[in-house]
Structure 1
Amino acid sequence: MAAISRRRPLALAAAVAVALGAGALAVTSASAAEAPLKDYELTWGIKQSYRSYVTGMAAGSFTPAGGATQAADNGAFTFAGGTGTYDSDTHAVRLGFAGSLKIASKLHGFDLTLSDVRFDSGAAEITADVTSGGTTQDDVPLADVTVTRTMTGMETRLTKEAATVLGSASYEGAAGDPLTVVQKTPPTQSPSPTGSPSSSTSPSPTTSTSPKPTGSASSTASPSASQTTSPSASASETGAATQGDIADGTLGWGVKQSFRTYVVDGPAKGRITASGGATQASGNGDFTFTEATGTYDTDADTLKAAFKGAVNFKGHEANGSYGLDLTLSGLTVELDGGTGELTADVESLGRTSDDVVLAHLTAGTSDLKAEDDVISLDDVTAELTKAGAQAFGGFYTEGTVLDPVDLSVALSDDAQLPDGNGDGGSGNGSGTGGSGDSGTTSGTTGGGGTTGSTTGGVTGALASTGSDVPTGALGAAAAVTVAAGAGVVIAVRRRRQA
């Protein structure tokens, strides 16, 4: 098998200047540029979500050996015994570490071992030998590193080769766990290293301290290798920070297609009104909620976004009152490692419940990856919760699959959302429903295919149909039957008879 190997040229020439304290390098002749280093440790967890997958869904295990260890509770890995060199010409620190890590799952059929882990600040990368199926591939580049002066908490980004090794193309370009490289016990004198391919025969420094990169220079060969003075302030490959506030965004969700059909074309003989920034696609289609606000963290793969807009379902009209009068607003999506919740404020027959968890969400990937300063997730699975089932009157059962969720959030003010608008807004139709040309409408979809625009949002729509009758003047009647798979149990309110 051909080895997956790439020996890249130095990507950070003169980028990592090392402070050696009061001592000076005692260098001579041909090998004057290099000084030996020893007693270093490298700590890196690869990626937290990958560790969770191996020990969880894959029912596998991590087995460190030969000096490598793993932190408690399925934590990060530490490789000790690091030896190598510091190059005073290029200011590069090159270190190789002892120990190996076996990653195996009988259930999912993988068994691989990482060994000879190396860190090169000049090339800004982590490499390792990878053994799988009896074949060893040398020096596989696992991650690009954003090198910092302290060499602690450095950002990493997984490579294409790492995605191949880990068994999922989705890992390519994904943020890995932070990397720390430190000298375990800085010696007063640093003897020449043994057993390191990069060892230098030059005399050791008269005094030695842990290398501290002090310079900052970007590389043309590695976009993720730009230097910063603080890991938290560094930027991702796309130029966006790895965490911060959401600038804008849209949420596409149809709630449930059969429910929309039931309301407009079924027994409810009602209408659907999108307002307050929400729109509905023509032909009684899906809804789009806009103007997202919230926060994101692509390193931790977390996101919380709230969207503007409301959608009202109204039907079963009798003498000016409605047996079905359901409004969803304040929609919020929260994701952590690919799973999360969809919440909304729910108003039903005059009663309002805030922050109701309507659905459990499962994305197709656990990684939040920004492209052109936009994070997009399509076809996120949504399953009705117990609270969501209650919001629909108990007809839909807990676990019912709802329409999938499409999510796009902008990480900067000038980012272009998928619809091509920097402000995240969807095109507004004329409020004439299915006949609109824009693909979305901000009016009302009515029974029988007729539509009519609303004024004053949801409140105006209620008033115009007589739903402002005081609650005391209304009573509850029997529930109504619904079309197959489409229904909701509706408490029909009627005026009291004189």
Structure 2
Amino acid sequence: MPVRRRRSTALAAAVATATALGATALAALGGATAASAAEAPLADYELTWGIKQSYRTYVGMFGSFTASEGAGQAPGNGAFTFTDGTGTYDTTAHTVDLAFRGRLVSASAAHHFEVTLTDLRFDSGAGEITADVTTVDTSGATPTKRGDDVPLAKVAVTRTMTDMATTLTTEAGEYLGSDGYAGAAGDPLTVVKKTPPTTEPTTGPTSGPTGEPTTGEPSKEPTTDPEPTDPQTTPATREPSPTVSTSAAPSAPAPSAPATTAPTKGEIADGTLGWGVKESFRAYVVGTVAKGRVTVSGGATQAAGNGAFTFKDATGTYDTDADKLTATFKGAVNFKGHASGGTYGLDLTLSNLKATLDGGTGTLSADVNSLGTQTKSVVLADLEAKSGDLKAAQDVVTVDDVAATLTAAGAKAFGDFYRAGTALDTVDLSVALSDDARLPDGGGSDTSGGTSGGSGTAGGSTGGGTGTAGGPGSTVGGTGTTTGGSLGGGSLASTGSDIPGPALGAAAGAAGVVGAGAVYATRRRRAQGRSAE
């Protein structure tokens, strides 16, 4: 069996104690032989865990994640997935012990840290997740730290093994760089057996429990235990039912007749634009570094949880035959942080947003007011829709998940803390072509003038992506090229901790973090002469 059977020191001691206390009973029952016979092999499992959202936000601010060798990361700096899980199932104790493929590296050249996780393991009997961890201070100020089977989190194991609560350990804090992680809630953990391909022999699933889906577990799934408490006999049921996603699909294109009656060109009657700017930026503003707030006004709203923004009351023109659209939206959003003596090192307002599309590509511009200096019609992002066609349904044109890439002018608007080419949150756009057309729900929950944030508020949990979608060999996160970090990430607001230790491996890195607000203010003032009209 390729799975290693290493255990932590504490667990090994517990096993030794139990063996000593029960030696006579084990001998009578056949001991090792019975234990060996109770184990059945497992394969093709997948583990999904985000470690902790605030940790991902922090790394995305100062550096990046790289997942490879079987590991991947969800879009939007999301959770990590480790694949090809193999191991054993104890049919007597109803526990699983699984090891997964994948390599995850979090690194920042600016702040001299590199943390590598490999050999991720899940032991439901011990209720923990472990990994081999290597932490490197790339400045050379502190020695490299390595650990095998480091316990990263305790897991509240459930029978379905989905969305299990996790609690980070002291060791997680030591290796990830913040003592504040010890005892903090981690991201939920899911362990699931991958659904076999449709070419799987039809006789395979018949050996499994009667409660299994007919397309579920292959015959190699342990079937020696007749009890329904087996935690790995149920994970396949978490797979989304095909009927769930398809049942709602026919309702959208059904009213096709009204689309043929819509005018092909004219003035927009109304519209909404959904955009989060950049999720990690929202988290940074309200986190423990900037200690600021996000405020919407002028009719704009913000989704709960420091989420994305919705701008409303669109005006402009459209031409569905030519696939052209120009729409300007009301509402404003202000980001404010780094308070000092009644002034702010960060005070940025975006208003009067305007989106243009021509054959699926276009731009997103806004009036920008930074530290009291206003520049109108700054092209913040280049847009690229999934399709170049503008089609109306019931007199409404909707274009969702439009990719937005920061322009050079947009980078200057953010004080050059982002490089041109950085992925911003995606854009959702809906415009009404007639006065009686009904727009989709904008999704904002805060009213005009609403505020989110404040010192210690956790960074955004919703909104679009930051960086490139994951997968083996993918990289997600900010550039991390400026000493002191960028405005592209969050903090440890959720845990109430300070900046993780790996970022503070060198004194220069620590000074850069403390002075982030001053650096931003200096850069903005230096850029005012260039960007002001």
TM-score, normalised by the number of residues in structure 1: 0.41
TM-score, normalised by the number of residues in structure 2: 0.39
Instruction: Give the number of the structure whose alpha-carbon radius of gyration is greater.
Output: 1
Q: Whose helix fraction is larger, Structure 1's or Structure 2's? A: 2
